[in-house]
Amino acid sequence: MPKFNFYKMASKKELKKDLNDRFGEIIDGALINQEANSDDSTSKTEQLVDDIIAEFDQLIEQINKKDTENRGKHLKSVRESMNKKADEFIERLNNL
């Protein structure tokens, strides 16, 4: 009977879910801010959303990377990177 390691799968799955939730909320906030404010912030908002999507794609690639020596340590560093970038995006959103 094969043994399954549910911890690694759940950790990877949870990390992807957290990434999607955090970045999705920031994009929602940017779009709400765009609707509430004048048209001069449209280009800044679009640039922010484009940057968020590009970073999302990079982080998904890192999460799916298979040739890592220590998977747990790698996912922890991806989570730290995600949190740092999310904070930067929130700061940019607040300055729009």
Q: pTM for this structure?
A: 0.84
Q: How far apart are CA 47 and CA 51, in angstroms?
A: 6
Q: How far is CA 29 from CA 26, 58, 75, 87, 96, in A?
A: 5, 21, 27, 13, 11
pLDDT in tens, 11-28: 888 999 999 999 999 999
pLDDT in tens, 45-74: 999 999 999 999 999 999 999 888 888 889
Query: Which domains are assigned to the chain?
Result: 10-94 (1.20.81)
Hey, what are 3's tokens?
A: 């043994």
